[in-house]
Structure 1
Amino acid sequence: MVTTTVADPADARRLAAAAVQARLAACVQVEAIASHYVWQGHQSEDAEWRLSCKTLTSAAPRLRAWLREQHPYEVPQLLTHAVQAEADYARWVAQHVDG
């Protein structure tokens, strides 16, 4: 799974739909979150939208590169999480991601 965050719900929807259409992710869940961080010397709290992209280990590098190109942030959060899925869900992901 690859996760990232964006500040605008329209960006979240755009990235989620495009990642699925490009077969880089089988599913992208979008959820509203509150982020606390320091950027350019200033501490901030902002609403963000987290995208959790369900993909294959073999496709994760391509998904991260694509997100980096499409992302509105100067320094986007791009995290890869190794997760273990039930076999039937893993097969479904594999059917919908170009690995």
Structure 2
Amino acid sequence: MERPLLVYTTFPDEAAAAAVSRALVERGLAACVNLIPGMRSVYSWQGAIEEAGEIVGLVKTRSGLEEAVAATIRETHPYETPVVLTIPVGADAPTTAWLMGATGA
């Protein structure tokens, strides 16, 4: 049985966040993507400690689309290695129905 899935990713700027989010929704892979600006990230990359401003993307989708969502993020994202973290979540019946309907389930 399909379950709601939340995918966490980050973006370098508003334009990239909007482009990837729009691709996911237009392709029916996400019901919605919440974009949260103003995050500051400190991370390890290629042996160095880096720091940058980022935008959080929370992709609302379903478990059956996990691989397609990840592939689309990798294909349309400007980062060499975008973060794609999947988080199985629960949801109430109306939210689940909306999410499944919006993603073609």
TM-score > 0.5, shorter chain as reference: yes
| Alpha-carbon distance between aligned partners in 2 of 1:98 and 1:35, rounded to the nearest angstrom | 34
Matches within 5 A, 1:1-99: 1-32=6-37, 33-99=39-105
| Alpha-carbon distance between aligned partners in 1 of 2:85 and 2:53, rounded to the nearest angstrom | 19
**Deviation per CA, 1:20-67, whole angstroms, max 9, x where unpaired?**
111100000001211110112221221001110000111111111111
| Alpha-carbon distance between aligned partners in 2 of 1:57 and 1:90, rounded to the nearest angstrom | 12
Q: Could you tell me which amino acid in structure 2 is paired with residue 44 of structure 1?
A: E
CA displacement at 1:98 relative to structure 2: 2.9
Q: Which of the two has greater strand per residue? A: 2
CA displacement at 1:69 relative to structure 2: 1.1
Task: Report the number of matched residues.
Answer: 99
Give the gaps of 5 or more residues in structure 2. 1-5
Q: Could you tell me which amino acid in structure 2 is paired with residue 69 of structure 1?
A: E
User: Structure 1 stretches (4+) deviating beyond 4 angstroms?
Assistant: none
Q: Could you tell me which amino acid in structure 2 is paired with residue 16 of structure 1?
A: S
Give the gaps of 5 or more residues in structure 1. none
Identity %, equivalent residues: 36
